[in-house]
Amino acid sequence: MDTNNVFGEVLESAGTAAKQTGQAAANAVSDTAKAAASQITGSQGDSPASPQDVSNQDVVKGLYEESQPQNTNPQQPAMVSNVPSDSSEKTPEELANLELVRKELHAAYYQSVVNPPTQEEESVSEKIEREDRQEDMELQQKEMEKPPELVQRAAQRVEKNPGASG
């Protein structure tokens, strides 16, 4: 056995494998780029759907199909969720009262949410009076916070006459 021949065959097979791997990688990259471009543009592209795409579409269709009820009993009538089951037992007066209550609730709640009541602007004279009352309240609060007159006089007397030490 010739070592050059063995090494030559190994190198040749390695080169062939590298070329095939490179070609497969290039094809995978171009396929990915084409798929991304078709998703962005929304077109199907020129290539026919691969078996993997068909199986993916089947899975997606299976997920989004309408589910069939598990208990399909043809004798049982379908229930309508919006209509109460005991409405046939109520008299027309009770039904009218229920409708009246619904309208009142609608007016009380939904109308106040959708159309909030507007605040009337106060007139200029009312605004001035309100501001004056607020100022008076603030002045009263300041007067309440001041120390009593005797304490103020005692503090001033000590400050004015420091005595022998000052």
- CA of 40: how far to CAs of 12, 35, 154, in Å? 42, 9, 87
Least-confidence region, from 20-34, 37-51, 75-89: 75-89
Residues 103-136: tens digit of each pLDDT: 888 888 877 778 777 777 778 898 999 999 999 9
C-alpha distance across the termini of the chain, in Å: 120
Give the Cα separation of 40 and 21 in Å (integer). 28
- Whole-model pTM above 0.85? no
| Rounded CA separation 140/143 (Å) | 5
What pLDDT score does 80 carry?
44
The full set of domain ranges for the chain reads: 91-115+129-160
Determine contact, residues 38/49, Cβ cutoff 8 Å: no
